[in-house]
Structure 1
Amino acid sequence: MEQNHLFPVFFKLDQLQVLVVGAGNVGCEKVSAILQNCPAARVTVVATWFAPEMAGITEGYNNVTLVQKEFSCGDLFGKDLVIAATADKELNSCIWEKAKASRVLINVADTPALCDFYLGSVVQKGNLKIAISTNGKSPTIAKRLKEVLNDAIPEQLENVLHHLQAIRDRLKGDFADKVKKLNELTSVLVSKD
């Protein structure tokens, strides 16, 4: 049976430099997702033209730079992550080659074979964030699961997280003792009664 061998990671995008190449519908979608998840993300968008929506998505974000020009190798300098989101498959492939040569992680939109990482569907309730991946097989399923989890997870969970953090900060003992106590306290969240 096939398995999903992706390693889930949450990037601190306010501490990284992100390049998005392309500013059409897909570029807008990617930039919007980045800013929704991390409003302080440092993003540079390079494109020969910008969809009108991009201005609205990036308005008020001083940490987003829009550069109207063709992609060049120099655009990768100092970048940690790249998203190729153009409608030109040859250009996307070129960006992938340059990113790989520069050892920069890349996501080529709608081309799983050319991705070092995927942008999954995200469920967020305050500090709780759940990313859903179908290993590039079906973004539609990921979207539907996001809807189910958004409805199933109560908004009050943020209060629970704050209380548990306060409890964790007051617990004494070594790591194993703290984990045991927190497991006892949170067992009610998964009880079948």
Structure 2
Amino acid sequence: MEENQLFPVFFKLHRLHVLVVGGGNVGLEKANAMLENCPGATITVVALQFLPALEELTHHYPNITLIQKSFSCGDLLGKDLVIAATNNREFNYNVWEKAKCSKVLINVADTPDLCDFYLGSVVQKGNLKIAISTNGKSPTVAKRLKQVLQEAIPDTLDEVLNKLSLIRDKLKGDFASKVKKLNSITDILVRPESEGV
């Protein structure tokens, strides 16, 4: 039975340069997803045409650039990640080939076999961020789980995280003793209700 072999990572998009190839609905969706998570993301979108909503993004996010032209190998220079976001499978495959030759990680929309990474559904409560992946099997299930977790996790959790960060900074001792103390403090977060407080 196949299992999810993905290794979850969180990119610091404000330090990377992302190329999106495609100015339609898929390109808009991918750009929006990145900007919602990192408003300082540097994104270049290359396409022959752009949806008005994509053009509107450039008014709100100074680090997004639209270049109206056909995709070429030169567009990959200086890019860290690529998203092929057109509705043309053959064209997306061409972008994938060029990205692989350039050693640039690529996501090909709606083609899991050609993806080096996925853009998962994301739950965020302040500094807490949870990414959900179904290994490309069902983005719809990931979106539903996102809704459940978004409602289940209290908004006050960010306050708890900030206080724990202050405590961690003040702890004395070696790494092991700090971990033991933090585990003791946070035990209440995972203790079954039947044990009470």
Partner of 2:53: 53
Contact 2:96–2:114 (8 Å) recurs in 1: yes
Aligned residue number for residue 36 of structure 1: 36
CA distance in 2, matches of 1:54, 1:64: 10
Secondary structure, in 3 states, of the residue corresponding to 1:66?
strand
Aligned to 1:166: 166
Q: CA deviation at 1:88?
A: 1.2
Amino acid in structure 2 at the alignment position of 1:117 = F
The within-5 A match list for 1:91-170 is 91-170=91-170
Q: For each residue in 1:84-134, what CA deviation from the matched residue of structure 2 results, as whole angstroms up to 9, or x when unmatched?
A: 001111110000000000000000000000000000000000000000000
Segments of 5+ residues of structure 1 without an aligned counterpart are none
Deviation sequence 1:23-63 (CA, Å, 0-9, x none): 10000000000000000001000000001111223322111
AA aligned to 1:30 is: K
Which residue does 2:68 correspond to in 1?
68
Does structure 1 conserve the Cα–Cα contact (< 8 Å) formed by 2:44 and 2:65? yes
Determine if contact 2:122/2:130 at 8 Å carries over to the other structure: yes
Structure 2: which 5+ runs fail to align? none
| Kept in 2: contact 1:132–1:146 (CA 8 A) | yes
Does the residue aligned with 2:26 lie in a helix, a strand or coil?
helix
How far apart in 2 are the matches of 1:191 and 1:156? Answer: 18
The secondary structure found in structure 1 opposite 2:20 is strand
8 Å contact from structure 1 (residues 28, 57) kept in 2: no
The letter of the residue matching 2:156 is: Q
Q: What is the distance in 2 between the residues matched to 1:58 and 1:126?
A: 25
1:19 is matched with: 19
Between the aligned partners of 1:189 and 1:57, the Cα distance in structure 2 is 39
Contact 2:84–2:108 (CA under 8 A) maintained in structure 1: yes
Give the partner amino acid of 1:15.
Answer: R
Q: TM-score, normalised by structure 2?
A: 0.96
- Asked if structure 1 preserves the Cα contact closer than 8 Å seen for 2:125 and 2:157, the reply is yes
Q: Which residue of 1 is the match for residue 4 of structure 2?
A: 4
* Greater Cα offset, 164-173 or 56-65: 56-65
Q: Which amino acid aligns with 1:93?
A: Y
Distance (whole Å) between structure 2 residues aligned to residue 106 and residue 169 of structure 1: 38
Is the contact between residue 57 and residue 64 of structure 2 (CA under 8 Å) also seen in structure 1?
no
Query: Any idea what SS the aligned residue of 1:110 has?
Result: coil
4+ runs of 1 displaced by more than 6 Å?
A: none
CA RMSD of aligned residues (A): 0.7
Q: Is the 8 A contact 1:47 1:71 kept in 2?
A: yes
TM-score scaled by structure 1? 0.98
